[in-house]
Amino acid sequence: MPVDEQTLDDLAQALYDAFRSGEPISKLTDEHDLTIEEAYDVQSRFVGRRIDDGARIVGHKVGLTSEGIQTQLGVDEPDFGRLLDTMFVEGETVSAADLIAPRVEPEVGFLVAETLEAPVTYLDVLEATRAVLPVLEIIDSRVRDWNIQIQDTVADNASSALYVAGESVTPVDGIDLSLEGVKLHRNGVVEDAGVGHAVLDHPARSVAWLANTLDDVDQHIEAGNLVLSGSFTPALDIEDGDVVTAEFTTVGSVTTRIGGA
């Protein structure tokens, strides 16, 4: 049976309290049989509380873009969350105090110059994109020990936390982002590597999926938005003091330090 409005609001409040306190909660699906639609409703309420605190939506993130993680969670499509201006990390150091159980993902961010209205193809995305840039997304879970189902991560704003953007911006003309490679370094050691093909076969297809999905709920990727298109590699656990670099083949590099001196 549908989850009532008060319960949806209570779940959003629980996530918000976990975000503010740094104390994780049990997964929402332990006690509530949420649908995906209800989970997005909770997400909107959770994000709404952060907007009430003064945050502003500046874009979107797409998650669950690899076949492996979709299989792990038993789903056949990605999910999305909202990017807030307060998630952007000024400089290269991320405060570990703001995080519960952080992981990092190397991604290509799309700087969208034109509003995207459905139906959208990946070619439309490339046409509307001003440039791309290298990004390290710091994901986190307000749910204890990452013990989540798809509804839990959707409600938790797609497990978003922070993001660090590289200084280089690259026009997409002449670049095949499906062949774009990345090496993910931690403390000087290559921990993983990947290619853009892992992101729904092409990162722009991820952005197109988002544009078409948002249209179903009367929302759009707006001109000026940043869209994080999905990770080229599995998420990497990180700890206080780690220095992480994503070194892309064409679009540049980005480095962040997690706390530490």
Over residues 96-105, mean pLDDT: 91
- 32 neighbors 7 (Cβ within 8 angstroms): yes
At 56, the pLDDT band (50, 70, 90 cuts) reads: very high
Q: Domain range holding 114?
A: 5-258
Give the C-alpha separation, 66 to 135, whole Å: 17
Give the tens place of pLDDT for each residue, 35-44.
Answer: 999 999 999 9
- What percent of the chain lies above the pLDDT cut of 90? 89
pLDDT digits (tens, 9 = 90+) for 233-247: 999 999 999 999 999
Give me the DSSP letters along 171-223. --TT--TTS-EEEEEETTEEEEEEEGGGTTTSHHHHHHHHHHHHHTTT--BPT
Instruction: Give pLDDT tens digits for 127-154.
Output: 999 999 999 999 999 999 999 999 999 9
Q: How confident is the model at residue 92 (pLDDT cuts 50, 70, 90)?
A: confident
**How far apart are alpha carbons 208 and 205 in whole angstroms?**
5
Looking at residue 260, what is its pLDDT? 64
Give per-residue pLDDT as tens, 193-210: 999 999 999 999 999 999
> How many structural domains are present in the chain?
1
CATH of the domain at 192: 3.90.850.10
pLDDT value at residue 72: 65
Query: Mean pLDDT over residues 251-258, rounded?
Result: 97
pLDDT at 261 over 60: no
Q: What is the pTM of this model?
A: 0.95
Residue 178's pLDDT band (cuts 50, 70, 90): very high
